[in-house]
Amino acid sequence: MTLPKILVFGQTGQIATELALQGTVTALPRSMADLSDPDACAAIIAATDADVIINAAAYTDVDAAETDEELATIINGHAPAAMARAAAARGLPFIHISTDYVFDGSGSAPIAPDTSNNPINAYGRSKLVGEEGIRAAGGAYVILRTSWVFSAHGNNFVKTMLRLSQTRETLNVVGDQVGGPTAAADIAATCLKLAQAFYAGNGKNGTYHYSGQPDVSWAGFAREIFEQSKRAVAVSDIPTVDFPMPAKRPGNSRMDCTKFETTFGICRPNWRQSLGTVLKTLKDR
């Protein structure tokens, strides 16, 4: 089977790292592809010999975005839009990672992809700008919204909990935010499947949801981390109001992934199994 040439924007982030580990891709570091310069990123696509473009780079510091929304919007909004236009001009499929933060997180039902957007923080607003620009570009695309990304790389909730468990026997963790933790490795594998589908002529344009199952609170996620890693840490649920952060977080990050499963035959991954793999990787280091 002939594999597509895949150009990945991003190199050190969680998903980009997993893409490089799982597939034969060309991953561009910030020194070569700085998303704060959208025109330069578009020029790279205009000159590439790749068959598929994956954007796994982003401004991901949710709290810092509150005071740096202009830069976050360039990186998360204007750059992906420019890249999508360049890809459309070349007839290249563009796969882009987005987020549940484009919604306000109200209610308790799983959120479908066509639900009205209403981001409640700067990060979510910046990502929504990118989504709108990609759809307007007119090319072949998939916007893959995901949530609560974790891996053995970079900074994430799993590694934070493990670090805190080294010096703490009890932890207070938010219990009224619920979502689907998603392993970066699962997202990367899914992006590679999408790239292959487009290369084979079976791609389906659209905005899709993809997150781990079952849905759980941050506190429940923490308990599973400690149980699997055999750390004796007691977790107490606290409400969001008792853990104030600069950026508001959605209370409901449950994602309805039915459309994605129906279209591509890719099911929600079991995050507990993926967590075990991540913990083993960290232990073996």
Active site positions, annotated: 123
Query: Residue 167's CB: how many other CB atoms inside 10 A?
Result: 6
Q: Verify cis geometry, omega within 30 degrees of 0, for the bond prior to 239.
A: no
Residue 96: strand, helix, or coil: strand
Kind of pairing, strands 182-183 and 149-150? parallel
Tally DSSP H helices, then E strands, for the chain. 10, 13
Which are the contacts of 130, defined by CB distance < 8 A and separation ≥ 6?
Answer: 76, 77, 78, 79, 80, 81, 96, 98
Give the number of C-alpha atoms closer than 13 A to the C-alpha of residue 54, restricted to the C-beta side: 34
| Tokens coding 192 | 């590679």
- Asked whether 128 and 117 are in contact (CB, 8 A), the reply is yes
